[in-house]
Structure 1
Amino acid sequence: MAEGEQARAWTRVRANLRESAGQRLFEQWLKPMELVEGDDRDTVRLAVPTPFAANWVRSHYADRLLLEFRSQLPGVRTVAIETRAPGVEVLTAPATQSSATPAAEPVKSTDAAPAAPTTARATLAERPPLDPRFTFERFVVDASNRVAFNAAQALAEPGTPRFSPLFLHSGTGLGKTHLMHAIGHAYLAHSPEAVVLCMSAERFMFDFVSAMRARDTYQFKMRLRGADLLLIDDLQFIAGKDATQEEFFHTVNEVMAAGKRLVISADRCPQALDGVEPRLISRMGMGLIADIKPPEPTLRRAVLERRLADLPGVAVPASVLDLLADRIGSSIRELEGAFNRVVAYAQLTGERVDVDFAVATLGDTLRGSQKRVTIDEIQKLVSQHFDLKALDLVSARRARAVARPRQIAMYLAKRLTTRSLPEIGRKFGGRDHSTVIHAVKRIESLRDQDREVDGAVRILLRQLEG
């Protein structure tokens, strides 16, 4: 393959990436990539400045780059992402069409120093175990978490930190760990040679106890206190562990005295941490304390839309997203888990995703989080909302001013109660179950087309679910 063909293809691929990734992401991660000249007809080699950038591109864009190049040059089988820096071995991790395709051999820079390869590998091995999904760009923000999000971004900025430590607290599954990993990603993006350590408080305790048993606490101390950014998750796990708290206290003091960055998370605010020494709580209060509140329905809905956007080709109607966002409110983690379960079951069974399928798939999960609502309560609230008499909903009147609220009430009864279709029909003037099915399908369709109907349903759902 002529090098000119690769160069022309790379120009078109870059243009496509700029358009699809957005300006900020493209400028930060994709623009620095350069095409490396080579003779291999099957392989396109792209170089980035640092090992961290190479890892990021491999994690997020390896498959996309391969598809883009193959759309331009069908003969391409491999896109190799390399690190290209003076005196450092070039490491490759190809994105291949199949996991069985052999990996490209490491390509060495012509001026690499003999000891550089070991250094490069050591640097990669010491990178913290940060989840590539947990970035600031993928964190959905609203009033419940905006202060914590802004504080996390501020701590990750280059230059002298404005505050340290940052203490994040919330219930489980609301985004503390996501923000901690996002801080690590953002900090390493502008300071790739920095030392970043990320661990749970339980891991801190385990490593400390192991060091004491091995009579080698010096290395443990130096490792933690040498970090430029130290991330400690779930501090509540060291409550009542006096020796561990003693060491943690001295670690915090050393990190703060050196002007370095420290992030700590827990399931409650420092003052509510039973079994934690007062002097340690006092140190936590010297920085910034930010909480993450339980998510509102609008945030839960936005999280689901983000997850759906990550799954091209997967169809999940708005009514199902609304069902999950309305019923599962205690934890973003639980919400995403329910969404993943619905999608996975649909793919395994080949069935279409709709409200009935989601209810059948998530049965116990939805029932466990559901407020007990009766059809009588639904009829009363719908009548008040549309300024009707309660008897109108069970009457034989077919005027649209009555028929549409009646359909909405049936839809809500199907969605919020465990009553069968015939039972719902009987509660609405002895109507047949097929009438209920028609009403549910009609309102589901109108919610995607008619803002007035959708708005009314949303208001009624909020009121009924408290």
Structure 2
Amino acid sequence: MTFPQASVYSAAPATASALGANPAPAAALVQAWQALQSQLEATFGSADYAAWLAPLKPTAVADGRLTLAAPTAFIAQWVENHYVPQLQAFLETSLQASAAVSVHVAPQFSAPVAHALAAAQPQARPQAAPQSISGGPALLPEEAPQPEWMSGLRLDNRYTFEQFVTGKSNQFAFAAAQGVANAVQAGQPAFNPFFLHGGVGLGKTHLMHAIGHAVQAAKPETSILYLSSEQFMYKFIKALKDKSTLGFKELFRNVDMLMIDDIQFIAGKDSTQEEFFHTFNVLVQEGKQVVLTADRSPHELPNIEDRLKSRLGSGLTIEVHAPEEETRLAILQAKAESLNFDLSPSVLQLLAQHIASNVRELEGALNRLVAYARLTGEPLTPDLAREQLRDLFRVYNRVITIDDIQQKVATQFNIRVADMHSPRRAREVARPRQVAMYLAKQLTNRSYPDIGRAFGGRDHTTVIHACETITSLIPRDSQLAEQIEMVTRTLQGR
């Protein structure tokens, strides 16, 4: 029997002195391998079995030798170095005949091999088609039970280039995303890494998914892994716990395109940053595409190592801005059409004028109106829209200034507004000042230098440090977090 040309790792033939020189029959070898699975899991443990042995599939049998296919060269080499002698011993004990094991790299069965195995073992189940990760080609066969860290997220079918509404605020990001997709399709990744940043609900994730869909449609064999930074961190920790870090590294470093959403959430997680740093370097050096999103530019990310910030900003970094009114109106029209609901131009115009923060809130407001109209049967008029969305309009119509923030924070922490501008460094003054700087960045569109000037002419690095400090304190200081939330609610009129 033959198998596809591939890297092969062969074990030395088993000694047959105690078993006789006769090799095991082909069908018996395959049957014995399948029967041994529960024993292998019990012997080596569920985590190691799932990571290294379950992915192996028999692809050829001849002269007492069972050839197993591994999905990657790393897994093949690891099995060769750590498991093959024991696998041979298990087979020989089971068959009472000499047996040998070879491991080769073949992520998918070829048709000739599948037919050959079917002839050797007519009762065997057909090999299932590989299951994709994030909609892309499989990294492991479907039948293999995978450790939790070996799965990614699927791409959202709603988020394609065709469904993205462009305008002045996002046309550069849109064009660049298409350029990245085209470059990956051509096998020449560009703008590496491609880093999109901006506020919540502005289309960063949509563009990331669109890149994945475009590459997948044009080049289905491309392996794509998409996940959030929290999932990257969770999977890394889970792999550490399962003692499967080598397999984790192999999975992440063996893809053609890695896409991670909201990379800012690895802030302060030193071991996760270390692992991501090395993964990033390997992928870029090997010409693989990396696509990332965050809520701010790389150099503004708090509690991220400087060397990682430098790597993140070494490709193409683009900010996605809030859509202008014309684009907001186009988004609403497209959304209404997708909902198969006819809205008057006056109602659409009303929404576009009053909800300017982000696309997600805009679409949420429209969904709310459509649901109300369908449930009550009332026609949607501008007056009815104002009534149903009065809480949203109240929030979005209020423009928050740095002066407002300084006054509310001073009241909350019982200090003078003048202390916001003073050079005093006493803790009872410095901490509220840092809170005010943090809120100024969160609730206004002002830059770090602008905020620094509003706080007594301070340098922008002081503002960045303040934002990083408060960001790190919020999860650990519940009282401070509550005070910040109270100030935020007051400022937003909630």
Which TM-score band (shorter chain)?
A: 0.5 to 0.7
Unaligned 5+ segments in structure 1 are: 1-85, 89-113, 373-466
Letter in 2 for 1:233: D
Match of residue 358, structure 1, among 365, 385, 390: 385
Partner of 2:331: 303
Tell me which residue corresponds to 1:238: 266
For 1:169 and 1:288, the matched residues in 2 are separated by 11
Deviation at 1:163, TM superposition (A): 2.3
The number of equivalent residue pairs is: 262
Verify: 1:278 aligned to 2:303, yes or no: no
The equivalent of 1:174 in structure 2 is 202
Q: Distance in 1 between matches of 2:258 and 2:218?
A: 16
Aligned pairs (5 A) from 1:378-393: none
Q: Give CA deviations for 1:142-175 in whole Å, capped at 9, x if unaligned.
A: 1211111111111111211222110000001100
8 A contact 2:152–2:227 mirrored in 1 = no
Match of 1:456 in 2: none
Task: Describe how 1:80-99 pairs up with structure 2 within 5 A.
Answer: none
Which deviations, in whole Å up to 9, do the C-alpha atoms of 1:306-331 show, x marking residues without a partner? 1112133x221011101111000011
Structure 2 residue 223 is matched with structure 1 residue 195: yes
CA offset at residue 286 of structure 1? Answer: 1.6
1:282, CA displacement in angstroms? 0.9
**Are 1:127 and 1:196, in contact at CA under 8 Å, matched by a contact in 2?**
no
Q: 2:152–2:226: 8 Å Cα contact kept in structure 1?
A: no
1:238-257 alignment runs, 5 A limit: 238-257=266-285
Q: 2:288 aligns with which of 250, 260, 279?
A: 260
Query: 2:353 pairs with 323, 326, 329, which one?
Result: 326
Q: Which moved more, 1:227-236 or 1:125-134?
A: 125-134
The C-alpha deviation readout for 1:16-69, integer Å capped at 9, x for no partner, is: xxxxxxxxxxxxxxxxxxxxxxxxxxxxxxxxxxxxxxxxxxxxxxxxxxxxxx
Secondary structure of the residue aligned to 1:215 is coil
CA distance in 2, matches of 1:228, 1:216: 22
Partner of 2:343: 316
Aligned to 2:157: 132
Task: Specify every segment of 5 or more residues in structure 2 that has no aligned partner in the other structure, as ranges.
Answer: 1-109, 113-123, 143-150, 400-494
Residue from 106, 128, 142 that aligns with 2:167: 142
Letter in 1 for 2:193: P
2:395 is matched with 368
SS in structure 1 of the partner of residue 243 of structure 2: coil
- Contact in 1 for aligned 2:190/2:289 (Cα 8 Å): no
TM-score, normalization by structure 1? 0.54
- 1:374-396 per-residue CA deviation (whole Å, 9 max, x = no partner) reads xxxxxxxxxxxxxxxxxxxxxxx
Aligned-partner Cα distance in 2 for 1:247–1:127: 17
* Larger RCO (CA within 8 A; separation ≥ 6): 2
| Deviation at residue 121 of structure 1 after TM alignment | 4.3
In structure 2, what residue type is equivalent to 1:139? F
For 1:121 and 1:243, locate their aligned partners in 2 and report how far apart those are by CA, in whole Å. Answer: 30
Q: Give the match for residue 128 of structure 2.
A: 118
RMSD after superposition: 2.1
Find the residue that maps to 1:330 and give its secondary structure.
coil
Amino acid aligned to 2:157: P
Deviation at 1:115, TM superposition (A): 7.8
Kindly provide the amino acid, as one letter, of the partner of residue 253 in structure 2.
R
Query: Within 1, Cα distance between the matches of 2:129 and 2:221?
Result: 12
Rounded to whole Å, the distance in 1 between the matches of 2:378 and 2:315 is: 52
Asked if the contact 1:134–1:181 (Cα under 8 Å) also holds between the matched residues in 2, the reply is yes
Asked if 1:206 corresponds to 2:231, the answer is no
Return the alpha-carbon distance in structure 1 between the equivalents of residues 336 and 296 of structure 2: 31
In 2: Cα distance, 1:163 partner to 1:178 partner: 18
Q: Which amino acid aligns with 1:311?
A: L
The partner residue of 2:369 within 342, 350, 353 is 342
